[in-house]
Structure 1
Amino acid sequence: MNKRLFFYLHIGYWLLVLMQVLLVALGTGVLGTHFDWRLFLSIVLPVKALQIACSAMFFYINYLFLIPYVLKKGTILKYILSLVGGIIVFSPLYYLMEQIVYPLIGWKSYDMDLDLFFAFIVALGANFLNIFLGLLLSYLMDWRTIRAEKEVVEKEHLKTELAFLKSQVNPHYLFNTINDIYSLTQQQSEEAPEALLKLSEVLRYMLRESDDPYVPLANEIDYLNNVIDLQKIGQKGNSHIDFKLVGKIEHQKIAPVILINFIENAFKHGIFKNSEEPIQILVTIDKQAFHLHLRNKINVAKKDRTGGIGLVNVQRRLALIYPNRHKLLINPQTDTFVVDLKIDLYD
């Protein structure tokens, strides 16, 4: 909490206490049956303000010193003894107020003269509630501080984990793409320059935008198109991918490079050289929802028999970025692999 706001809240609290005390005093008829502004301003207000000032003084001694330095660093017994000592120290102050200061103003709280023992009882009664309010406020502030620190740690852990997952996504994709372009250059293919241009656009997107928590959906779709084009170039046109986009892209945003793993997985483990059984990618968009449906035939002779961490990573990223805002179904059938992903895009 902002220190200035905290200060204002404390001032406001004691002003409210003073107002409440004044209203109670007026309600009990201390000025008689007729309200007198002169008596109110010259007697009731100064007396009650002094009483609140004494209570506030004891409250802050307890809150700022006794609780943090005696109770929290010592024992309950030491704290109780310190409270008793504080009341004893304050008793002469209440005695002087009742016996000297108040009579000078024209106020008398009690019909009898006070002794120091009765002043101790008065001081204890005046501050009994303040002791518990100080304890309550102190431990509430401790709880709030611990919760804020925990939230900071969790956010830092989340950012670190997401960065780690991203660092695993990008090198995996780049390794495959560079291998394809290297093959094209060895064959002196005319498509090698175009592939390098597409790769530079992909890298620009990764470097400039993937660090943002959310990017325009249009940029992510362009990124997917570049990935698909690179795949087709790398396979010399012998890569059949049916990519359809339904809906209108406006100002929607999405987490960057969140879909590449599904596309890469289809390229890596799917059959894409059969024109009759292409990789099918359908993206449906509306103002607040994104839907990806991907289907590909499974290549029995997998290129990578060791498996990968791509799908595990993207599932974890989705859980971190879109908790309770996404639905992912992965259905590996006998000869077909199906991915169905729905994301709520609202902030």
Structure 2
Amino acid sequence: MSFSKLKWLENSSIKIPLKYHLLFWGSYFVFNVIRWGSYFDDYWYSLKSNLVEFPLHIIIVYFNIYYLIPKYILTRKFKRYILFLLFSLCILYCIRTGLNFLLVTKNIWPEAEGTQQAFTFNHIVAVVLGELYVVALVSAIKLTFDWIYEKRRAEDLQKIQLSTELDFLKSQIQPHFFFNTLNNLYALTLQKSDTAPNVVLKLSDIMQYVLYDVKEPVISLFDEINYIQNYLDLEKLRYGDKVNSKINIIGNIEDVKVPPLLFLPFIENCFKHGAQENESIQVRIKFEIINNKTLKFCVKNSFVHINDTTQKHGIGIKNVKRRLQLLFNNNFKLKTFVKKQHYFVKLKIPIQ
């Protein structure tokens, strides 16, 4: 995974800035003052009581979401969580009741009928339930933000993982291709063939394409076809008149984009399994645009079955299948089969 991708992921983290904390508590405070002021028809009393109670709300809420939940809920120590939360509520009840009695009103529970005493069962339940309401509300908001953040982070990680794997698969295809081409060039030099210089020039053009032009996630289909044609020209230099190839294009490919190096392994396969001494190599390639939505890629080549269990297996086709799964999920169709000494490839992908 590259440093730039890690840096981008770090910068994509969702944090709740301080101003949003202040905005929430400020709005909630004003709402509570108006609500209880309207209820008691005494806005001065509502303001004083909320000035006493809101700092306590804030303390127990942040104590819950930043200490109790991470330490006990996330570690599945539920009994300890409940115990510490109840203990915190008991302490808060004592402090809140005392401050209200000293600073606000001697009538400790004005919303109840008659004059009520502190530390009665009903008063304790009423205060605790009120605090639990605040704790539950803010915790739900915080957990929702955490869930959104974790969901986005998981999606970002998945994208980076897919991108990294795609880059790795693409990087594997390039050396695989050059290894095969250099083997061809080596064979020509052993034969002291006059076509060796032309192979070097063609290989140079292809190297420029692979090393500089395919760094983007998608490239022009026209450029990809031109790249395939250069590869075919290389094989013709190697095999001479034995190679009979044709590329057929149906539809307008001017604005079509495709993942780079997606089709080449299928073309390489034509020569890997279609080359046999004193026999021609027939290669027919077709690119067809269907309803401006789908690209159909077909290959037909002569096929020679080699019953050799010691034969090395290339990585090209395997990598292409994996790339197709990563790029298009299940939104593609790939079919390969042998029929009457010919090997067929039929691939459909959505147009990008």
Equivalent pair of 2:33/2:50 in contact (CA under 8 Å): yes
Superposition pairs of residues 100-111 of structure 1, within 5 angstroms: 100-103=102-105, 108-110=110-112, 111=114
Letter in 1 for 2:218: Y
- 1:184 corresponds to: 188
- 1:54 corresponds to: 56
**SS of alignment partner, residue 240 of structure 2:** coil
**SS of alignment partner, residue 246 of structure 2:** strand
User: In the superposition, relative to structure 1, how do residues 340 and 164 fare at CA in structure 2: closer, same or farther (>3 Å)?
Assistant: same
Letter in 2 for 1:236: G
User: In the superposition, relative to structure 1, how do residues 83 and 172 fare at CA in structure 2: closer, same or farther (>3 Å)?
Assistant: closer
Q: Which runs of 5 or more residues in structure 1 are unaligned?
A: 32-38
Superposition pairs of residues 78-89 of structure 1, within 5 angstroms: 78-89=80-91
- Mapped to 1, the partners of 2:207 and 2:61 lie a distance apart of 62
Q: 1:112 aligns with which of 103, 111, 115?
A: 115
User: 1:137 offset after TM fit, Å?
Assistant: 5.4
- 2:301 corresponds to: 296
RMSD: 3.5
Letter in 1 for 2:331: R
- Mapped to 2, the partners of 1:188 and 1:285 lie a distance apart of 43
Instruction: Compute the TM-score of the two structures, normalised by the length of structure 1.
Output: 0.79
* 1:279 is the counterpart of 2:283: yes
User: In the superposition, relative to structure 1, how do residues 228 and 136 fare at CA in structure 2: closer, same or farther (>3 Å)?
Assistant: same
- Mapped to 1, the partners of 2:227 and 2:215 lie a distance apart of 15
- Mapped to 1, the partners of 2:99 and 2:312 lie a distance apart of 85
- 1:336 corresponds to: 342
Identity %: 27
Equivalent pair of 1:18/1:52 in contact (CA under 8 Å): yes
**SS of alignment partner, residue 211 of structure 2:** helix
Equivalent pair of 1:242/1:280 in contact (CA under 8 Å): yes
- 1:36 corresponds to: none
User: 1:253 offset after TM fit, Å?
Assistant: 2.2
Letter in 2 for 1:3: K
User: In the superposition, relative to structure 1, how do residues 316 and 329 fare at CA in structure 2: closer, same or farther (>3 Å)?
Assistant: same
Letter in 2 for 1:291: K
- Mapped to 2, the partners of 1:240 and 1:161 lie a distance apart of 36
- Mapped to 1, the partners of 2:29 and 2:254 lie a distance apart of 57
Equivalent pair of 2:52/2:96 in contact (CA under 8 Å): no
* 1:244 is the counterpart of 2:256: no
- Mapped to 1, the partners of 2:104 and 2:76 lie a distance apart of 38
* 1:2 is the counterpart of 2:6: no
* 1:317 is the counterpart of 2:329: no
Letter in 2 for 1:129: Y
- Mapped to 1, the partners of 2:228 and 2:51 lie a distance apart of 71
- 1:92 corresponds to: 94
User: 1:153 offset after TM fit, Å?
Assistant: 5.2
- Mapped to 2, the partners of 1:324 and 1:208 lie a distance apart of 30
User: In the superposition, relative to structure 1, how do residues 334 and 169 fare at CA in structure 2: closer, same or farther (>3 Å)?
Assistant: same
User: 1:299 offset after TM fit, Å?
Assistant: 2.1
- Mapped to 2, the partners of 1:9 and 1:87 lie a distance apart of 26
User: 1:93 offset after TM fit, Å?
Assistant: 3.0
- Mapped to 1, the partners of 2:19 and 2:257 lie a distance apart of 40
User: 1:305 offset after TM fit, Å?
Assistant: 4.5
**SS of alignment partner, residue 236 of structure 1:** helix
User: In the superposition, relative to structure 1, how do residues 252 and 302 fare at CA in structure 2: closer, same or farther (>3 Å)?
Assistant: farther
Equivalent pair of 1:240/1:274 in contact (CA under 8 Å): no
Equivalent pair of 1:326/1:343 in contact (CA under 8 Å): yes
User: 1:242 offset after TM fit, Å?
Assistant: 0.9
- 2:198 corresponds to: 194
**SS of alignment partner, residue 101 of structure 2:** helix
- 1:215 corresponds to: 219
Instruction: Compute the TM-score of the two structures, normalised by the length of structure 2.
Output: 0.78
- Mapped to 2, the partners of 1:27 and 1:293 lie a distance apart of 76
Equivalent pair of 1:47/1:102 in contact (CA under 8 Å): yes
* 1:226 is the counterpart of 2:230: yes
User: 1:146 offset after TM fit, Å?
Assistant: 5.5
Question: Deviations along 1:255-281, whole A, 9 cap, x unmatched?
Answer: 111111110011211269877x83110
Q: Which runs of 5 or more residues in structure 2 are unaligned?
A: 1-12
* 1:254 is the counterpart of 2:266: no
Q: How many residues align?
A: 333
**SS of alignment partner, residue 256 of structure 1:** coil
User: In the superposition, relative to structure 1, how do residues 88 and 307 fare at CA in structure 2: closer, same or farther (>3 Å)?
Assistant: closer
- 1:35 corresponds to: none
Greater Cα shift, 84-93 or 313-322: 84-93
User: 1:320 offset after TM fit, Å?
Assistant: 1.0
- Mapped to 1, the partners of 2:102 and 2:337 lie a distance apart of 87
Equivalent pair of 1:291/1:341 in contact (CA under 8 Å): yes
